[in-house]
């Protein structure tokens, strides 16, 4: 895999998809459908998926592509694959809260090695460079050339005063009970894979997720987190979190800055 080419293609695809999403977001009204798993989907999801798939298939026709909006890709299996959530945080999008992202990642050997997370409504763009270092690009974003790139890195956490980020739409009592095992002084709520990025930039120290997610929800944010020096582990035993699982379904997990003293479930 040519990582220089990959980063350029992912960036171009994410920005074009973001434009399509924002066009729908700015409309007075848009249709919302319900998929077989009871999750919502909009024309923005479908438009973004078509754009990203076109970019990736043209550039990397030999690489397996898994995307949330194409059910026939959910039965695929490969050691190396691209995985896409064209609009992560559809519920935030529908509620016009802005916490939604475009997620694209490359997984190799069960590890997300490159990824991009674009939050078009917030004007924030995070990705791994060709050498695997995570950056945030300063806007406005020129589709033809990157702007200023600022390397990002996780915090040095204070275990007596941790900063926690948790899901905005999927918070529950079990999550709160686990968070309360820690001495924390700040609690943020955020939607989509932005939670990974807040840990990656040092704006938060830990993100526990005790709820259903799929690999396309997490791979890009996980790649950005890893490239910023962070970690993601399974919730139940703190073992390494891997990708390419059957059906691409995730278990519970914890994303965090090294130095956080993880608590047992």
Annotated binding site: 68, 85, 87-90, 217
- Residue ranges at the known binding site for Mg(2+): 68, 85, 87-88, 217
Helix (H) or strand (E) holding 233: strand 231-234
Structure tokens at 265: 């479930």
> Do residues 218 and 104 lie in contact, with contact meaning Cβ atoms separated by under 8 Å?
no
Q: Please tell me the distance from the alpha carbon of residue 221 to that of residue 50, in angstroms, as a whole number.
A: 21
Q: Please tell me the distance from the alpha carbon of residue 66 to that of residue 50, in angstroms, as a whole number.
A: 13
Count of beta carbons in the 10 Å neighbourhood of residue 235: 18
- Residue ranges at the known binding site for substrate: 68, 87-90, 217
Q: What is the length of the chain?
A: 265
> Do residues 40 and 94 lie in contact, with contact meaning Cβ atoms separated by under 8 Å?
yes
Count of beta carbons in the 10 Å neighbourhood of residue 130: 13
């Amino acid at each position: 895999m040519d990582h220089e080419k990959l980063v350029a293609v992912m960036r171009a695809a994410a920005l074009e998809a973001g434009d399509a999403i924002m066009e729908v977001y700015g409309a007075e009204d848009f249709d919302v459908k319900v998929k077989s798993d009871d999750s919502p989907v909009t024309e923005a999801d479908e438009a973004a998926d078509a754009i990203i798939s076109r970019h990736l298939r043209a550039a990397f026709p030999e690489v397996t592509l898994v995307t949330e909006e194409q059910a026939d890709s959910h039965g695929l299996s490969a050691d190396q694959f691209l995985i896409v959530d064209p609009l992560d945080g559809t519920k935030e999008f529908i509620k016009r809260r802005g916490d939604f992202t475009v997620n694209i990642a490359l997984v190799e050997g069960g590890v997300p090695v490159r990824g991009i997370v674009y939050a078009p409504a917030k004007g924030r763009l995070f990705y791994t460079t060709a050498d695997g270092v995570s950056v945030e690009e300063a806007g406005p974003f020129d589709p033809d050339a990157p702007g200023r790139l600022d390397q990002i890195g996780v915090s040095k956490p204070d275990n007596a005063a941790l900063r926690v980020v948790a899901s905005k739409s999927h918070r529950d009592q079990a999550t709160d009970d686990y968070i309360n095992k820690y001495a924390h002084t700040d609690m943020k709520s955020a939607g989509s894979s932005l939670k990974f990025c807040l840990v990656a930039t040092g704006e938060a120290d830990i993100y526990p997720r005790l709820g259903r997610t799929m690999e396309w929800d997490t791979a890009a944010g996980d790649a950005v987190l890893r490239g910023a020096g962070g970690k993601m582990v399974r919730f139940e035993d703190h073992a390494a979190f891997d990708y390419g699982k059957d059906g691409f379904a995730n278990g519970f997990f914890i994303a965090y800055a090294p130095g956080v003293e993880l608590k047992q479930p």
